[in-house]
Structure 1
Amino acid sequence: MFTSFSWLHVEVLLQGLVWTVVLSIISFVFGGIFGFAVSLAGISKNKALVRLADAYIVLVQGTPVLILMFLVYFGLPILNIEVSSLFAASIAMTIFASAFLGAIWRGSLQSVSRTQWEASDCLALTGLQGLWLVIVPQAVRIATPPTVGFMVQIVKNTSLASIIGMAEMTYIGKEINASTFQPFTTYLVIALFYFCICFPLSAASRKFERMYNVGHR
């Protein structure tokens, strides 16, 4: 017997929204950590590291996020490593985010004028000191707009975790639809929740771009 969509269902969706946000934060934080390592490898003087970073970025960017989730969720148990849907989704989303953020940040570091690198040498700074004190602060200005914009992609891709059974917002929406048989109302509410998260991020990205005048560098 079907029930009508009600505020109770909205409250349940809000619980799923919490897990959507949690997965997004995990993906961005750990993806950012590994992504920064990828970006540093990409600008390294070691050609092997550069090739490794290039291969990683190309491989991950060319693989759908859902396939990454399947590989982790169904692949690790083959190695006798049982994983939850949250853990599998977090690993897959971290891999996804690290490749894209690594590419964004590598490009930002490379776009800093070569004279700035030379200036850090003139100041008798070590390579690491020059990177942190001279290059990174300038690269941050360039990287901020696309980084904030990419967070929208992270949030939207968390919906794929519903396929492997993670009880985030989209998964709960499917369960609600099964009991109410009101897909339009259910998914309209879900779309509004996603919009409430993604629109401010998109607006912030545009604001940062205007603020830093990235487009006219």
Structure 2
Amino acid sequence: MIEFSNYDILRNLLFATQWTILLSLAAFIGGSSVALTLTALRLTRNKVVHSLIRGYVELFQGTPLLMQMFLCFFGLSMLGYEISAWGAAILSLTFFTSAFLVEIWRGCIDTLPKGQWEASRCLGMSFLQILRYIILPQAIRVAVAPTVGFSVQVIKGTALASVIGFVELTKVGTMLNNATFEPFKVFTLVAIIYFLLCYPLSLYSKVLEKKFNGSR
């Protein structure tokens, strides 16, 4: 059995943490880009577009993220499209993140008085002008806190990437446990690192919620 000191365990876990952070950032940026596009399309009056977006949201919110990762990794390979564990993890987490952000942002926009849309149209403003100058500046203030809060779920969701072979924090923790046979020590350190990643974001979300309180 290979001997691992406490320093060796911690060093390997911290090295793997950078991949968890990179995967979280890639998924959040990709999910935000898709969600922003879908949110803008959802504001149009096209019923077909509304139905397609609603189906997209229900599909990725209503199925486990683990199943989505399996389908992206193994399903695409069975169809002849080779994809790495890194690519499958980003793709599935992007779909997952965008489906929730669309609903978060739609709810934030819905909190704004509908009379602002009508007043803007009466002033002769186009749809894009209304979004840019009237709706988005107000909606962003309401949306920033729940968006930061949801980033915690994205970070925790990266742990599932270990099941498709992507080597991140949870995967390295499992490998170290198999090598050291010290599950309590290893997974306690893994849990502490996840807490140190997520707790500041949760705290910051509460600060932002107070700072950008929509009711004010």
Percent of paired sites with the same residue: 41
Check whether the contact 1:37–1:102 (CA below 8 A) recurs between aligned residues.
no
Shift of 1:65: 0.5
Structure 1 unpaired stretches of 5+: none
Check whether the contact 1:159–1:168 (CA below 8 A) recurs between aligned residues.
yes
The 5 Å alignment of 1:89-108 reads: 89-108=89-108
Does the residue aligned with 2:3 lie in a helix, a strand or coil?
Answer: coil
The separation in 2 between residues aligned to 1:58 and 1:101, in whole angstroms, is 12
Shift of 1:14: 1.1
Check 1:123–1:117 CA distance in 2 against 1; reply closer, same or farther (3 A cut): same
Partner of 2:9: 9
The separation in 1 between residues aligned to 2:79 and 2:5, in whole angstroms, is 43
Shift of 1:11: 1.0
Q: Does 1:49 align with 2:15?
A: no
Shift of 1:5: 4.3
Q: Does 1:172 align with 2:163?
A: no
Structure 2 unpaired stretches of 5+: none
The separation in 2 between residues aligned to 1:33 and 1:189, in whole angstroms, is 33
Partner of 2:60: 60
* Runs of 4+ off more than 3 Å: none
Shift of 1:187: 0.8
Aligned-pair RMSD on alpha carbons? 1.3
Q: Does 1:27 align with 2:49?
A: no
Shift of 1:202: 0.3
Higher mean C-alpha displacement, 4-13 vs 44-53: 4-13
The separation in 1 between residues aligned to 2:8 and 2:120, in whole angstroms, is 60
Partner of 1:134: 134
Aligned residues: 216
Q: Deviations over 1:20-71 (max 9, x none)?
A: 0011001100100101122223222101111111111111100110000000
Partner of 1:183: 183
Higher mean C-alpha displacement, 126-135 vs 35-44: 35-44
